[in-house]
């Protein structure tokens, strides 16, 4: 949970040998911060949780460095899981958000390619898909080719396409995934730049899959793209601070509206009666149901006529009048109650200086003992 929140809100990607930036922390530093968050976790009554206390004590013992390395490796698997899950949600959303689902295969590929087209913004590049108003026109003589001159995006509306809000809701506030998100709801309501950049990366990956075929949504490929989006957002804040703040507020308003809409739909799904409180249309009259020779009212059902043949039927012992229990092993859904609302998740400190690979190896061994 805590690693996922760190990746969602603070640093989506980590440093690579080929991509050494002060904005990208080493993965072991991210693991350490996530483990410290877990260690600070408290129960609803504010007390420490026994199994966490016991676990960290075991990991801190001198000769448990191998166990610490193994735990750190297991924790880090959550990074690729999160990234792939966000991309999967983006792949579902982009078809409807950009009206790609109704297009032929050729036009779908061409439209995705246009959405991926980048525009120069100083030392950065701005992709078409982030703009709030996009108009794709098709060539008259080549119906499967985008007319690049006639197709336009509204350059006054960067990061205002509804697809951004849709992906945030679908991944972080839909179904069971809303548990962790609600725990730090205030952080999400700030719509941090990292969250926007990660979502943009996922949308780009989904569009690339359409345009060129499936590829890996990996740290190696997308750390640099994340830095690019973060740079554009930094420029946005520096050069148009009021519009930048208004963007954050607008995005969260859109997210909140979508969350409310989902809650209404879930409530309707659970509703088993008509709006006026009376039962809705009932195809089955439960009071008339018969199982074997037992009626729902508890009385014996009339024996069916067996005068269809003159031959005497072979004896067959009837089933017990009591139906056998078919109780499920767990009829109650697993609890999705978020961790204690009293848990505070502080903002991550500034990124520590980068460490070289040799130091990183030692860090992995001590990550848990220091947490």
pLDDT in tens, 294-306: 766 655 655 555 4
Average pLDDT over residues 160-177: 87
Strand partners, 277: none
170 and 92 in contact (C-beta within 8 Å)? yes
Q: Which of 127, 176, 135, 130 is nearest to 153 (CA)?
A: 135
pLDDT tops 80 at residue 220:
yes
pLDDT tops 70 at residue 204:
yes
Confidence of residue 66 (pLDDT cuts 50, 70, 90): confident
User: Phi/psi at 138 (nearest 5 deg)?
Assistant: -115, 145
pLDDT of the residue at 313:
46
For 253, the enclosing helix (H) or strand (E) is helix 241-270
Q: Which of 9, 177, 187, 161 is nearest to 99 (CA)?
A: 161
- Tally of residues, the chain: 371
Helices 65-97, 357-370: crossing angle, 10 deg rounding? 100
Average pLDDT of the chain, as a whole number: 78
pLDDT tops 80 at residue 360:
no
pLDDT tops 90 at residue 231:
yes
Pairwise CA distance, residues 355 & 27, whole Å: 10
- The more confident residue out of 367 and 88 is 88
| Full DSSP string of 199-235 | HHHHHHHHHHHHHH------HHHHHHHHHHHHHHHHH
């Amino acid at each position: 949970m805590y690693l996922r929140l760190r990746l969602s809100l603070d640093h989506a990607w980590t440093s690579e040998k080929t991509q050494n930036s002060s904005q990208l922390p080493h993965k072991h530093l991210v693991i350490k911060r996530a483990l410290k968050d877990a260690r600070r976790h408290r129960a609803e009554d504010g007390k420490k949780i026994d199994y966490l206390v016991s676990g960290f004590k075991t990991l801190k013992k001198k000769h448990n460095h191998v166990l610490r390395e193994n735990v750190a490796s297991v924790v880090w698997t959550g990074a690729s899981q999160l990234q792939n899950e966000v991309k999967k949600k983006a792949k579902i959303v982009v078809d409807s958000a950009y009206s790609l689902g109704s297009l032929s295969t050729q036009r779908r590929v061409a439209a995705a390619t246009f959405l991926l087209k980048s525009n120069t913004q100083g030392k950065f590049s701005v992709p078409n898909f982030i703009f709030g108003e996009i108009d794709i026109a098709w060539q008259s003589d080549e119906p499967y080719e985008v007319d690049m001159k006639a197709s336009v995006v509204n350059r006054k509306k960067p990061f205002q396409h509804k697809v951004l809000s849709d992906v945030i809701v679908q991944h972080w506030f839909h179904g069971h995934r809303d548990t962790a998100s609600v725990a730090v709801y205030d952080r999400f309501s700030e719509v941090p730049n990292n969250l926007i950049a990660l979502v943009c990366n996922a949308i780009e990956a989904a569009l690339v899959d359409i345009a060129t075929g499936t590829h890996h949504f990996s740290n190696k490929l997308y750390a640099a793209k994340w830095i690019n989006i973060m740079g554009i957002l930094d420029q946005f804040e520096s050069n148009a601070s009021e519009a930048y703040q208004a963007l954050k507020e607008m995005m969260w308003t859109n997210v909140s509206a979508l969350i409310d809409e989902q809650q209404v739909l879930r409530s309707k799904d659970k509703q088993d009666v008509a709006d006026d409180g009376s039962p809705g249309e009932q195809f089955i009259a439960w009071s008339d149901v018969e199982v074997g020779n037992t009626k729902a009212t508890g009385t014996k059902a009339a024996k069916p006529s067996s005068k269809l043949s003159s031959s005497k039927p072979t004896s067959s012992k009837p089933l017990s009048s009591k139906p056998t229990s078919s109780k499920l092993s767990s009829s109650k859904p697993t609890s999705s109650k978020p961790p204690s609302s009293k848990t505070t998740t502080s903002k991550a400190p500034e990124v520590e200086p980068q460490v070289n690979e040799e130091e990183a190896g030692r860090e992995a061994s001590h990550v848990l003992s220091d947490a």
